Amino acid sequence: MRQPHITSAFDQDIDGLYSRILTMGGMVEQAISEAGRALESRDDERAAEVIRADREIDAMEDDINTAVVSTIALRQPAAADLRAVVTVMKMAGDLERLGDYAKNMAKRVPVLAQAQGVDGAGAALRRQSRLVQLMLKDALDGFARGDLDLVRDVIQRDVEVDQMTNALFREFLTHMMEDPRAITPCLHFLFISKNLERMGDHVTEICEQVIYLETGARPELRPKGDVTSQMTAEQGGA
Amino acid sequence: MRQPHITSAFDQDIDGLYSRILTMGGMVEQAISEAGRALESRDDERAAEVIRADREIDAMEDDINTAVVSTIALRQPAAADLRAVVTVMKMAGDLERLGDYAKNMAKRVPVLAQAQGVDGAGAALRRQSRLVQLMLKDALDGFARGDLDLVRDVIQRDVEVDQMTNALFREFLTHMMEDPRAITPCLHFLFISKNLERMGDHVTEICEQVIYLETGARPELRPKGDVTSQMTAEQGGA
């Protein structure tokens, strides 16, 4: 993570903060994975558990922010050390938002369990959520090991998530045009896919924080593949 | 804003930060207002200007974050002063996100300008965006004047934005069921309305930051009125 040097009180604080970020990240990974499974298997119980667990993720963010503020107040870090604690706070914010999106996904499970099924939709969204979860896992590993190649690779993979969203938009729009009974479930699927696209953006932001932390430089321009704001059903039907 | 006391270098820094937040807030208010107008009048030019101006909002956030970090490094503030600078950073983050949502709204204008019109949709979304813009205006005024009654009132008003989203969801879903040609425009309208609902949440977060700044206490539980994640077309059709 950082160069080894004589252990100070500040180092102990920052090690504690990093380990809390990794714990929080693990909780969010779990939430994304479980929300994806709940969606595919139309499992209300599993979805309810994701919603419940989100409170712990929120509490974790509060803990981290409190610890960051007290570290700054007590240790008065300068330069690189200050950058490290500020980065921790930003990462916690992104993780909290990722948890929120997973909760939102889970909230849609009960109404989808009642609605008409749409062939392959649950499986496709599960695959997309798996992609985001693996991006997050590698982003956290990259953070833990200071592995910039790995986090840069994660940033590139966000394009896949965007492309998957575009493809699913076309598919769900076609279903909606063909069968009015598919409108309700497809609408929820569209929101879930769009949320996953935004989740990919938050993982990208975490990666950018890691790059900033390690290099002190703002990261390169990120690739963008999401075109859903320009999409029409005419492009969809084909 | 804060109690008057002997002016220190830190006070000058914080006054500078507060004034930048207010400037940034004004830019975001303008973006929300212009995006709403562009949507109602199907005005591509106006929308393009909102998209362009978002870069300045993003640059403003970077400036504020850099200034916050250098204030902490130079002045090493403790307790309430530290809380103030950390709050500034969080508010800048919420404002940046609000600007992003306004940009996303503007991005949908060209495709909507080409699509079949939906009676009253543009006007309804303009009204909803106006509500969010006024919430932001009052949140910023409340911040500038340390007026907790005003920011608490803004938090309450977020329920109206949520209820408007619920009502528009029902309406747009009904249109989609009745006429497949309405699916594309209504889908974009649904995303815009949902974004406005989230924008209300970000304004609420800004208000909560103001409360935290002034009282040092975490704010009360916020009211929630958004039920779109449970919504079905059956409830919509009526």
pLDDT in tens, B149-176: 999 999 999 999 999 999 999 999 999 9
pLDDT (tens digit per residue) in A139-180: 999 999 999 999 999 999 999 999 999 999 999 999 999 999
- Integer Cα distance of B193 and B234 in angstroms: 20
Torsion of Cα atoms, A195 then A196 then A202 then A203, to 10°: 170
pLDDT (tens digit per residue) in B172-196: 999 999 999 999 999 999 999 999 9
Confidence of residue A211 (pLDDT cuts 50, 70, 90): very high
Task: Work out how many CB contacts closer than 8 A connect A with B.
Answer: 92
Beta strands in B57-99 (DSSP E): none
Interface test with B, best of A232, A234, A235 (most B CBs within 10 A): A232
Q: What is the pLDDT of residue B75?
A: 84
Those residues with Cβ within 8 angstroms of residue A154's Cβ, 6 or more apart along the chain or in another chain: A135, A138, A139, A142, A203, A204, A207
Q: CB contact, 8 Å: B86 with chain A?
A: yes
Percent with pLDDT over 90 in chain A: 70
Asked if pLDDT for residue B65 goes beyond 70, the answer is yes
Q: What is the pLDDT of residue B238?
A: 32
Asked whether the beta carbons of residue A187 and residue B173 sit closer than 8 angstroms, the reply is yes
pLDDT (tens digit per residue) in B108-129: 999 998 888 888 999 999 999 9
Beta strands in chain B (DSSP E): none
Taking the CA of residue A46 and the nearest CA in chain B, the distance in Å comes to 17
- Residues in chain A with CB shorter than 8 Å from the CB of B183 are 173, 176-177, 183, 233
Percent with pLDDT over 90 in chain B: 70
Average predicted confidence (pLDDT) for chain B: 90
CATH 2.40.50.100 fits B9-236, yes or no: no
Asked if pLDDT for residue B237 goes beyond 50, the answer is no
pLDDT (tens digit per residue) in A72-116: 888 888 777 888 888 899 999 999 999 999 999 999 999 998 888
- Integer Cα distance of B19 and B140 in angstroms: 11
Asked whether the beta carbons of residue B111 and residue A86 sit closer than 8 angstroms, the reply is no
Asked whether the beta carbons of residue B76 and residue A79 sit closer than 8 angstroms, the reply is no
A9-232 in CATH: which number? 1.20.58.220
The rounded Cα A83 to chain-centroid distance in angstroms is: 22
Q: Provide the 3-class DSSP secondary structure of residue A70.
A: helix
Least confident of A113-117, A213-217, B143-147, B234-238: B234-238
Domain-wise residue ranges, chain B? 9-236
Taking the CA of residue A144 and the nearest CA in chain B, the distance in Å comes to 23
